[in-house]
Amino acid sequence: MYSSSHGMTQAPATRMFVSPSPMSPNMSPSPRMATQHPSPSPFSPKFSPSSRHRSSSPQMFRQTAATTTLTGVSETDPSQAGVGIYFQQTPEDLDKIYVKSIIPGSSADREGTVRIGDFLVSVNEQRIPGSAIHLLRSLIIGEVGTFVKLGFRREEEGQVSFYEISLMRANQDFFNQLQAKAQIQKDAEQLRSSLVQAEQELSGLRQKLQATESLANKENDEVRRMKSLLTSTEEQLRIVTNTLKEEEEERKRLEVKLRREQAQQQQDEEEAKRLELLLGQAQGKLISAEESLKRSQDQRSELESRLQGLVLERSAAEAEESELLRLIEQRLQEHQQMKEQEEATVRSLELRRQQLEEELKQEEKSERELQAKNQEVMTRKHIVEDQLRGLEAENEQLMQSVVEAEQSYQDSEQLYKEMHERNAELQRRLRELEEQSHSSQYHLEAVKEKIKAEQKAWEEKLQKEQKALEADEIQYRAREEELLLQMERIQKEANTLKLEADERQRKLEETLSNLESENARVQKLLEAEEDLAQSLKERKEVIGDQLSKAQAELSLARGARDDAQQKLKDTETDKLKALERERALDVELARERKRESERVEQLKMARRELEAQRKAKEDQLREEEELYKISEQKLEEASKELAYLQKQAAALMEAEKRRLDRELKFKQSHTAVLACMDECMKIQGGLKKQLDSVHLPAPALSELGLAFNDTSNFSLAGSPAATRSHAPLTASRGSEGRGAGHSMKEETMRRLRMEEGTFV
Q: Can you tell me the distance from the alpha carbon of 119 to that of 28, in angstroms, rounded to the nearest whole number? A: 10
The number of beta carbons lying within 10 Å of the beta carbon of residue 353 is: 10
Per-residue pLDDT reduced to its tens digit, 232-279: 877 877 887 788 788 778 777 777 776 777 666 677 667 767 767 766
Alpha-carbon dihedral angle through residues 170, 172, 177, 179, given to the nearest 10 degrees = 100
Query: Where does the pLDDT of residue 161 fall: very low under 50, low under 70, confident under 90, or very high at 90 and above?
Result: very high
**How much is the pLDDT for 756?**
47
Q: Choose from 533-537, 633-637, 756-760 the range with maximum mean pLDDT.
A: 633-637
- Give me the residue spans of the domains in the chain: 253-565
Give the contacts of 152 (CB within 8 A, at least 6 positions apart): 99, 114, 118, 119, 120, 121, 162, 163, 164, 165
Of 212-226, 492-506, 564-578, 706-720, minimum mean pLDDT range: 706-720
**How much is the pLDDT for 391?**
64
- Exposed, middle or buried: residue 742 (CB in 10 Å: 0-12, 13-18, 19+)? exposed
Task: Give the 3-state secondary structure of residue 56.
Answer: coil
- Cα 327 to Cα 67, 334, 335, 390, 543: the distances in Å are 154, 10, 12, 12, 11
Can you tell me the mean pLDDT for 631-650? 79
Task: Give the 3-state secondary structure of residue 304.
Answer: helix
Question: Among residues 277, 300, 162, 347, which one has the least CA distance to residue 584?
Answer: 277
Q: How, if at all, do strands 142-143 and 147-156 pair?
A: unpaired
What would you report as the CA-atom Rg of the chain, rounded to the nearest whole angstrom? 67
- Angle at which helices 575-692 and 265-281 pack, to 10 degrees? 50
Percent of the chain with pLDDT over 70: 65
Which contacts of 506-513 are long-range, i.e. CB under 8 A and separated by 24 or more positions? 507/359, 511/356, 512/327, 512/330
Q: Can you tell me the distance from the alpha carbon of 485 to that of 153, in angstroms, rounded to the nearest whole number? A: 147
Contact by Cβ (8 Å): 336, 537: no
222 versus 392: which is more confidently predicted? Answer: 222
- Angle at which helices 391-439 and 265-281 pack, to 10 degrees? 10
The number of beta carbons lying within 10 Å of the beta carbon of residue 97 is: 24
Average pLDDT of every residue of the chain = 70
**How much is the pLDDT for 152?**
93
**How much is the pLDDT for 154?**
92
Per-residue pLDDT reduced to its tens digit, 49-102: 333 333 333 333 333 333 333 334 455 567 788 888 988 887 777 778 889 999
Contact by Cβ (8 Å): 308, 405: no
**How much is the pLDDT for 658?**
86
- Exposed, middle or buried: residue 182 (CB in 10 Å: 0-12, 13-18, 19+)? middle
Q: Can you tell me the distance from the alpha carbon of 324 to that of 390, in angstroms, rounded to the nearest whole number? A: 11
Task: Give the 3-state secondary structure of residue 719.
Answer: coil
Q: Can you tell me the distance from the alpha carbon of 548 to that of 564, in angstroms, rounded to the nearest whole number? A: 24
- Cα 466 to Cα 284, 445, 461, 576, 588: the distances in Å are 21, 31, 9, 20, 11
Per-residue pLDDT reduced to its tens digit, 139-159: 888 888 889 999 999 988 888
**How much is the pLDDT for 698?**
53
Can you tell me the mean pLDDT for 10-26? 37
Contact by Cβ (8 Å): 519, 364: no
Can you tell me the mean pLDDT for 703-712? 43
Query: Where does the pLDDT of residue 424 fall: very low under 50, low under 70, confident under 90, or very high at 90 and above?
Result: confident
- Exposed, middle or buried: residue 313 (CB in 10 Å: 0-12, 13-18, 19+)? buried
Q: Is the pLDDT of residue 304 over 70?
A: yes
**How much is the pLDDT for 149?**
92
Sign of torsion, CA 438 443 448 454?
negative
Per-residue pLDDT reduced to its tens digit, 123-144: 988 888 766 777 788 888 888 8
Q: Can you tell me the distance from the alpha carbon of 435 to that of 73, in angstroms, rounded to the nearest whole number? A: 98
Q: Can you tell me the distance from the alpha carbon of 318 to that of 501, in angstroms, rounded to the nearest whole number? A: 13
Q: Can you tell me the distance from the alpha carbon of 83 to that of 166, in angstroms, rounded to the nearest whole number? A: 10
Q: Can you tell me the distance from the alpha carbon of 93 to that of 26, in angstroms, rounded to the nearest whole number? A: 9
The secondary structure of 495-529 as a DSSP string is HHHHHHHHHHHHHHHHHHHHHHHHHHHHHHHHHT-
Q: Is the pLDDT of residue 641 over 90?
A: no
Per-residue pLDDT reduced to its tens digit, 579-606: 777 777 778 777 877 887 787 787 778 7
Per-residue pLDDT reduced to its tens digit, 527-584: 766 666 676 677 777 777 777 776 677 777 777 777 777 777 777 777 777 777 777 7
Give the contacts of 314 (CB within 8 A, at least 6 positions apart): 557, 558, 561
Sign of torsion, CA 292 295 301 305?
negative
The secondary structure of 179-245 as a DSSP string is HHHHHHHHHHHHHHHHHHHHHHHHHHHHHHHHHHHHHHHHHHHHHHHHHHHHHHHHHHHHHHHHHHH
Per-residue pLDDT reduced to its tens digit, 310-330: 777 777 767 776 777 777 777
**How much is the pLDDT for 634?**
80
Answering whether pTM is above 0.75, one says no
Q: Can you tell me the distance from the alpha carbon of 611 to that of 495, in angstroms, rounded to the nearest whole number? A: 63
500 versus 741: which is more confidently predicted? Answer: 500
Q: Is the pLDDT of residue 346 over 50?
A: yes
Contact by Cβ (8 Å): 339, 533: yes
**How much is the pLDDT for 150?**
93
The number of beta carbons lying within 10 Å of the beta carbon of residue 282 is: 13
Backbone angles phi, psi at 124, to 5 degrees: 55, 45
Q: Is the pLDDT of residue 611 over 60?
A: yes
Question: Among residues 751, 603, 677, which one has the least CA distance to residue 237?
Answer: 603
**How much is the pLDDT for 148?**
92
Of 116-130, 178-192, 489-503, 744-758, minimum mean pLDDT range: 744-758
Query: Where does the pLDDT of residue 607 fall: very low under 50, low under 70, confident under 90, or very high at 90 and above?
Result: confident
Percent of the chain with pLDDT over 90: 3
Q: Choose from 153-167, 186-200, 315-329, 647-661 the range with maximum mean pLDDT.
A: 153-167
Task: Give the 3-state secondary structure of residue 17.
Answer: strand
**How much is the pLDDT for 699?**
52
748 versus 666: which is more confidently predicted? Answer: 666
Can you tell me the mean pLDDT for 181-203? 84
Backbone angles phi, psi at 570, to 5 degrees: -65, -35
**How much is the pLDDT for 62?**
36
Residue ranges with strand state E in 600-640: none
